[in-house]
Amino acid sequence: MAYVAGYAQVVDAVLSGAAWDEAYFSILSLKAHCQSLPGYQRMDFMVRDLDSGDVDVTIVTNFEYLEQLSVWLEHGQTPDAILSAMEPQPSRLRIDVRENMS
């Protein structure tokens, strides 16, 4: 039987193309770090280039239980914190927490 992670932080952002390389490698480093956290399941990021030269990115970080996700959000380094530190800053940054209902 397949296992489905229960809770996720979803970050949706639009970054300047000039900030994308740094953001990409920073998110990859964060992904590697998160693998050691209790309850961490996976981190996926999907991107597309926009006609303006910006990059539209969605980052989904899954944890097994809401409590584990909550501890990480309160005390850990998160994708939204990394993206907020980019120069120039994202022109759009939306953050949400979702429960997997499948």
pTM of the model: 0.92
Q: Which two tokens stand for residue 38?
A: 């209790």
What is the model's pLDDT at position 5? 65
| Residue 21 host element (H or E) | helix 17-34
Q: Distance (Å, rounded) from C-alpha 27 to C-alpha 32?
A: 9
Look at residue 1 and tell me whether its pLDDT is greater than 60.
no
pLDDT digits (tens, 9 = 90+) for 10-69: 999 999 999 999 999 999 999 999 999 999 999 999 999 999 999 999 999 999 999 999
What percentage of the chain exceeds 70 in pLDDT?
Answer: 95
Q: Which fold has domain 7-99?
A: Alpha-Beta Plaits (3.30.70)
Q: Where are the domains of the chain?
A: 7-99
